[in-house]
């Protein structure tokens, strides 16, 4: 199952959350992970002695509670707390850290951090971060683009012209997320987020031109760090078999299942003289219209049906 270390959580959030590492550096490699019994949203929470969270947060009420306990009662409570599985303790609201809590974190190798931020905001940010960092993922071959604010994954066999099509779309003002290897993360029940592996970020391979740095050539606005996948464009060779298999009216929308999420899919035949960039833009615009309840195919069929009914009615009256 996906997991991250406390060290990584700190490195990627210490500036945003103004985190200070107080003690417990020996536990930097403590793992924060999920399982079937512990969903992502249950990883972060206020101080809980019965069912400790992987990230224990102490706000105003929790710090006040510990301070009111007698020394022996406080030690008993902390013994119970640190006996459970716990990765890191964060004291929020700029509250002072008691020497007792500091000693427990140091001796038990549990990182102790502080932040001046309020605990509800801290937990919201960490939950969103962990939902992304611990999401179930897969890697697909293709090019992932931002076309008209819609995440579009272009797929197809090798040498189908996916990179050339992507370059054409980028030159028309659209953005690239990833080329060749697209990392897809299920960040919600019905949501897939596409990202680029760090090693391939900004690069696009085009046969005959080699490796191109899209950010350097087209500027910062030509690259996106991530995008939610909404539409798949699958390129196929325009042979007789492929053309006969196509539903010309596209009455039944095609879909593809990725990590349990159903994604709309459009099959585009590739042939000489076809402007694929224009076709992709048109497919995206049509998808946007369908989201708004405007279906051109249904409108055409209804118009055709009404025409036939009028012809039949006219024949009966004659």
User: What tokens were used for 252?
Assistant: 């039944």
Does one domain contain both 128 and 166? no
Q: Any idea of the CA torsion for 100, 101, 105, 111, to the nearest 10 degrees?
A: -150
Residues in a beta bridge with 38: 35
DSSP label of 207: T
Any domain includes 263? yes
Any domain includes 300? no
Does one domain contain both 97 and 45? yes
Q: What percent of the chain has pLDDT over 70?
A: 93
- CATH number of the domain that 235 lies in? 3.40.50.300
Given the residues 180, 202, 215, 265, the one annotated as active site: 180
| 16 labelled catalytic | no
CA 232 to mean position of chain CA atoms: 16
Given the residues 51, 68, 207, 248, the one annotated as active site: 248
Does one domain contain both 127 and 23? yes
Q: Considering the entire predicted model, what is its pTM?
A: 0.73
| 234 labelled catalytic | no
Confidence check: pLDDT of 6 > 90: yes
| 309 labelled catalytic | no
- CATH number of the domain that 118 lies in? 3.40.1390.20
Any domain includes 302? no
Given the residues 54, 108, 146, 162, the one annotated as active site: 162
* For range 88-103, the mean pLDDT: 93
Does one domain contain both 128 and 156? no
Strands 112-114, 88-91: pairing kind? parallel
- Single out the residue in 133, 150, 183 at which a domain terminates: 133
Confidence of residue 28 (pLDDT cuts 50, 70, 90): very high
* For range 82-88, the mean pLDDT: 85
Does one domain contain both 114 and 206? no
pLDDT at 81: 86
Does one domain contain both 56 and 145? no
Any domain includes 288? no
Confidence of residue 125 (pLDDT cuts 50, 70, 90): very high
Any domain includes 35? yes
Does one domain contain both 45 and 13? yes
- Single out the residue in 133, 164, 182 at which a domain terminates: 133
pLDDT digits (tens, 9 = 90+) for 161-172: 899 999 999 999
Does one domain contain both 150 and 276? yes
Given the residues 141, 172, 285, 313, the one annotated as active site: 141
Q: Any idea of the CA torsion for 291, 296, 301, 305, to the nearest 10 degrees?
A: 100
Do 236 and 242 touch, CB atoms closer than 8 A? Answer: yes
How high is the mean pLDDT of the chain?
A: 88
Any domain includes 273? yes
Domain that residue 123 falls in: 3-133
pLDDT at 170: 96
Confidence check: pLDDT of 37 > 50: no
* For range 50-62, the mean pLDDT: 86
Strand order in the sheet with 20-23: 20-23, 112-114, 88-91, 55-58, 44-46
pLDDT at 40: 53
CA-to-CA separations, 92 to 28, 74, 97, 278, in angstroms, rounded: 19, 19, 10, 52
Does one domain contain both 76 and 141? no
Q: Taking the chain, what is the end-to-end CA distance rounded to the nearest angstrom?
A: 73
CA distance 42 to 199: 32
Confidence of residue 131 (pLDDT cuts 50, 70, 90): confident
pLDDT digits (tens, 9 = 90+) for 258-278: 999 999 999 888 888 889 999
pLDDT at 160: 86
Does one domain contain both 159 and 66? no
Does one domain contain both 89 and 146? no
Does one domain contain both 148 and 247? yes
């Amino acid at each position: 199952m996906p997991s991250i270390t406390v060290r990584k959580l700190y490195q990627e959030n210490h500036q945003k959350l103004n985190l200070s590492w107080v003690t417990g550096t020996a536990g930097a490699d403590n793992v924060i992970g999920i399982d079937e019994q512990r969903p992502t949203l249950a990883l972060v929470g206020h101080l809980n002695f019965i069912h400790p969270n992987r990230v224990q947060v102490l706000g105003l009420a929790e710090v006040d509670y510990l301070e009111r306990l007698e020394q022996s009662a406080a030690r008993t409570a902390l013994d119970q707390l640190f006996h459970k599985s716990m990765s890191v303790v964060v004291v929020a609201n700029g509250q002072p850290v008691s020497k007792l809590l500091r000693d427990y974190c140091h001796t038990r190798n549990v990182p102790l951090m502080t932040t001046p931020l309020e605990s509800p905001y801290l937990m919201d940010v960490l939950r969103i971060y962990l939902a992304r960092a611990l999401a179930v993922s897969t890697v697909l071959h293709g090019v992932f683009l931002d076309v008209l604010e819609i995440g579009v994954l272009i797929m197809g066999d090798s040498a189908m012209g996916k990179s050339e099509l992507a370059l054409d779309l980028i030159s028309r003002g659209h953005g690239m997320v990833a080329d060749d290897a697209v990392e897809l993360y299920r960040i919600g029940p019905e949501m897939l987020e596409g990202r680029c592996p760090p090693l391939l970020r900004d690069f696009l391979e085009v046969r005959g031109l080699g490796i191109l740095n899209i950010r350097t050539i087209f500027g910062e606005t030509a690259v996106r760090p991530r995008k939610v996948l909404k539409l798949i464009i699958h390129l196929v060779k325009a042979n007789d078999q492929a053309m006969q298999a196509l539903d010309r009216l596209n009455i039944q929308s095609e879909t593809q299942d990725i990590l349990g999420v159903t994604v709309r899919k459009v099959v585009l035949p590739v042939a000489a003289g076809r402007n694929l960039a224009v076709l992709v833009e048109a497919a995206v615009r049509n998808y946007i219209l369908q989201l708004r309840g405007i279906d051109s195919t249904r409108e055409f069929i209804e118009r055709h049906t009404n025409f036939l009914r009028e012809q039949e009615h006219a024949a009966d009256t004659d």
